Amino acid sequence: LMLYSHESHRRTALNEVAALDIARAFTAEFLSPDPTGDSGANRYVDRMAAQSAGELGKWWQDRKNEILIQVATGPVVKATILDAGVERWNDDGSVDVLVVAKTAIKSADGKRIEAEPTVRCLETVRREGDQWKISNLSPVI
């Protein structure tokens, strides 16, 4: 009984670390669109679609062209993750994670920072096969 309890806690801790890592990485990339370079906007949209599942994956696929245009014509933004934490584990095995990030929006010439808003996102992280993916993303006001 003691060994089972220890193993259960260990597995939960490992899953929590994995979910937090993917939420941090996804958010940093999601909030950092970079239209520069060869096919920059296309690469961004493809990477985000590959990391999305469920409702978010459907939303991403439905709006792929619209997002592509926004990224291609938008500013360069760089996000820095300030913190992330598990809000709760859901009955279906997914986990809700709150991520806080600061974004630096660069000027059109790329030489200065125009704004640095703080963003908070609540994300549902779900395991699909051997990968964790983001299935829902909501801004927190």
Of the candidates 127, 128, 56, 139, the one whose C-alpha atom is nearest the C-alpha of residue 99 is 139
CA angle 69, 55, 124 (to 5 degrees): 110
pTM of the model: 0.86
Give the separation between CA 49 and CA 64, rounded to whole angstroms. 8
Domains (range + CATH), the chain: 2-139 (3.10.450.50)
| Cβ proximity of 85 and 16 under 8 Å | no
Spatial distance between the Cα atoms of 25 and 60, rounded to a whole number of angstroms? 17
pLDDT digits (tens, 9 = 90+) for 73-104: 888 888 999 999 999 999 999 999 999 999 98
